[in-house]
Amino acid sequence: MPTQAKRACPKWPCPETTPCPFHARKAWGGVSQLDRTGRPTLGQAQRMRVLRRDLYTCQAQGCGARSANHVDHIIPRFEGGTDEDANLQTLCSRCHQRKSAREGNAAKRRGAA
């Protein structure tokens, strides 16, 4: 059986051939893109599932804002956290920025030690 010819990635001007890992999209929950470490980001279906589960309410202690739209890893992936729903939470923009800054500073301190 002949093999199928490779096609150019539909996301112009990407030089990759199909399936391009950066632009590949599987319907509802597939890999949408890769993060800077080369791992796939959360799928849209998983993100929406977590937002609905948490009722778009910020899960940060003491916040409770009802306009939360960021899905964040409770245990960051660089510390061994997984992409399972149990390790994901909904945060508002402000709390997400604070948490990311804390994690970034902690990672820098570990690297310097």
Please write the tens of the pLDDT for every residue from 97-109.
Answer: 999 999 999 888 8
Q: What is the pLDDT of residue 33?
A: 61
Strand locations in the chain (E)? 70-73, 88-91
Q: What is the pLDDT of residue 42?
A: 76
pLDDT 10s digits, 8-21 = 666 666 666 665 66
Q: Which of 56, 50, 63 is nearest to 89 (CA)?
A: 50
Whether the predicted model's global pTM rises above the 0.75 cut: no
Q: What is the pLDDT of residue 71?
A: 95
Using a CB cutoff of 8 Å and minimum separation of 24, what contacts does 105-111 make?
107/78
Q: Which residues pair with 56 in a beta bridge?
A: none
pLDDT 10s digits, 39-75 = 667 787 889 899 999 999 999 999 999 989 999 999 9
Residue with tokens 């920025």: 97
Residue spans of the domains in the chain: they are: 9-41, 48-112
Q: Which two tokens stand for residue 35?
A: 């993060």
**Mean pLDDT across 76-103:** 94
Q: 3-state DSSP call for residue 75?
A: coil
Contact 76, 94 (CB under 8 A): no
Does the pLDDT value for residue 30 go beyond 50? no
Contact 9, 20 (CB under 8 A): yes
